[in-house]
Chain A
Amino acid sequence: METNIRLDYDKISKINDLGNIVNQYISGVIKERNISIEKNNSIDIITDDNKAEFDLTWLQKIDSKKDVYEYMSNIQSWTGYVSDIEEDNFTAKLIDKKDPTTYEIATFSKEDVSDGDLNLLKPGAVFYWSIGYATNKGQRIKQSLIRFRRSGNISVQVFDQAMDRAEELNQNLTWD
């Protein structure tokens, strides 16, 4: 008998989200711990035909026009999970990409969201928030960018469950 397996990628994406939250949190805890161990121990840091490699041409063009290309540097990035929406604002739980050990809560104005993403603003929606300095024609400007994810959103309850699970795993970690 032939069996057809159809994968629900939306579900997979949601499952991956949960895994990612837990993984981000736990890997952050482990990273912090390793840094602390490294500090204490003063550890020294130590062609295929069909290769899917990057063609540098486009990047070379940008590099040569870098003085006019708007490029962000010193970037801090968070993944946000929308928890509450009011008339002009929305509240979100934020996980720092570089330090995913805890989450913060922040309120944003809806005006910070581009018109093309406003229809995605719903409880459980996932977005990426970056702040950094943009250089354009020699001018250095502080920039903030919010971009909503277009698939795989999760509910606030599921987010909280994932964070609780991550915290539980953290409590159970034993360090030799």
Chain B
Amino acid sequence: MMEKYLQIEARSVVLIGNFNPLIFQPAWFSQKELIQEEEARSAVIEIIHPEITKFNIGDWLNFEVTVNRCSFTTAKEPYFEPIKDLVFGIFSILRETPISALGINNTFNLLLHNYENNYKFGSTLTPLDIWDQKIKKPRLLRLEIIEEERIDNFRRSISITPSNQKMGISININNDYKIKKIESVLDILSSKWDEHSTEARNIVNDLLRKIFN
């Protein structure tokens, strides 16, 4: 079902903690054999600064780290596994890094093709007719659904926002873990990565099926 609408699928890993942005450089990634030498040489560096480091590796990795947030993003499916390995490799080395949260995010940019589909999508998720008397032609812009309680330090949330394409939407499924030890990050990446990927696709497929079938 999803293939009919899917434009871009992205995967990102976000860590909250305390980081030293100066450590995170393409040359260091390569020196630790986490990426290819050529990739490090051709990295497009936006900034390397004590407060923030930002660069792209090839056309597959967007990396950004500040003193309290570190994120790895790819919008290329063949690199979903390599991005997990990269995060695993980095934090296997930087084992003293204090980390308080880990997010595994699966994002799907969908193109709903026409106005009717777009309206049906929004009005199924939130009954728009209840707004008729207060707002002219009400439409859904953003929506976020969260799990009421955090269970075993885990909580999932789903947000829906407009994408940059006309009739486009972005569905982001955030799997958020509270972390006490860095070993938990490595364990979650190893054991939950595939599971979250399958679940995310199922969530989007089910949603589309419920709305358009």
Contacts and interface: CB of A to CB of B under 8 A. Distances in A.
A82 B97 CA distance: 34
Interface residues of A, number: 48
A173 interface: no
B16 to A, nearest CB: 5
Interface string A61-93: 111101001111111010100000000000000
A172 to B, nearest CB: 23
Contact of B37 (A52, A58, A75, A116): A116
Centre residue among A9, A55, A59, A117 by max chain B CB count within 10 A:
A59
Contact of A72 (B35, B78, B105, B194): B78
Contacts of A1: none
A73 B6 contact: yes
Interface in A94-116: 114-116
A48 interface: yes
Interface stretch (B20-28, B114-122, B129-137, B158-166): B158-166
B197 to A, nearest CB: 9
B92 A147 contact: no
B48 interface: no
B108 to A, nearest CB: 10
Interface string B70-112: 0101011111011001101100100000001111010101000
A128 B78 CA distance: 8
A29 B77 CA distance: 24
B52 interface: no
Interface residue SS majority, chain A: mixed
A165 interface: no
Contact of B168 (A63, A115, A117): A63
B73 to A, nearest CB: 6
Contacts of B174: 51-54
A150 B14 contact: no
A71 B6 contact: no
B59 A13 contact: no
Contact of A71 (B76, B105, B191): B76
A66 B191 CA distance: 33
Contacts of B176: 48, 51-53
A56 B33 contact: no
Given A63-B7, A70-B59, A116-B39, A54 B172 contact: yes
Interface of A: 7, 9, 12-13, 16, 20, 24, 45-48, 50-56, 58-64, 66, 69-75, 77, 79, 114-117, 128, 130, 132, 145, 147, 149-152
Closest 10 CB pairs of A and B: A52-B103, A116-B36, A130-B78, A54-B105, A52-B14, A64-B164, A9-B92, A63-B164, A16-B190, A52-B101
